[in-house]
Homo-oligomer: A and B are copies of this chain.
Amino acid sequence: MSEPSPTRPRSERARTAILAATRDLVAEVGYEQMSIEGIAARAHVGKQTIYRWWKSKSAILAECVLEGLILPSRELPPDTGDLRDDLLVWFRGALHELGDPANASLLRGLVSAAADDPDLAAVLYERLTGPQEASMAARLREAEADGEIDSALTSTAVIEMLFGTIVYRILSRLDVGPDLADGLIDTLFDGLRGAK
């Protein structure tokens, strides 16, 4: 209904170039050292074109994350009937991916950026956990119905615990080896009391 007087449309070319430059720079020099001026230069774009559409460096990053330019996303594997096994497979994969030094470094940059930008935080953590969340909820319900587990935790809590641990290790710069996965999944299912 509204008729915003006709004007030159936003340049998709510029938008894409900016996101790509940001993706490259954050990987090359890190979030803190990356400057908006540098992004503009790399993208052959005027600074104003950036400021026209984004309000901060972290907002550009948020869009990169949203577009999947930065963090890969990992779906839960197909249901094999054994939730514990499926989770283990999936979690090992996630660990392997995020544990790679380049990705670990990138993740630290993103966390740093998200630490003082709630909007980026929302996007980042949604991107990190979102894709798994829904199917995880369904699986937990099934497993509970099957008697495989007696769930005391929501899918959100499970995911937060797993990712929280990974992120914590990455932030504190501890190794993120594959055996971490086994220990966590074991504890998650059996608890410290161990399997009966």
Contact = CB atoms under 8 A, between A and B. Distances in A.
A28 B168 CA distance: 25
Interface in A99-131: 108-109, 111-116, 118, 121-122, 124-125
Contacts of A124: 172
A188 interface: yes
A169 B163 CA distance: 10
Nearest to A30: B116
Interface residues of A, number: 50
Contact of A161 (B32, B150, B161): B161
A171 B167 contact: yes
Interface stretch (A14-22, A62-70, A88-96, A179-187): A179-187
Interface in A132-182: 143, 149-153, 157-158, 160-161, 163-169, 171-174, 180
Contact of A111 (B32, B112, B187, B193): B112
Interface string A2-32: 0000000000000000000000000000111
A173 B153 CA distance: 19
Contacts of A32: 116
Given A121-B171, A122-B172, A151-B192, 18 more contacts: A30-B116, A108-B115, A108-B116, A109-B116, A111-B115, A112-B113, A115-B115, A118-B173, A124-B172, A149-B194, A150-B194, A152-B187, A152-B190, A157-B187, A164-B165, A164-B169, A167-B168, A187-B188
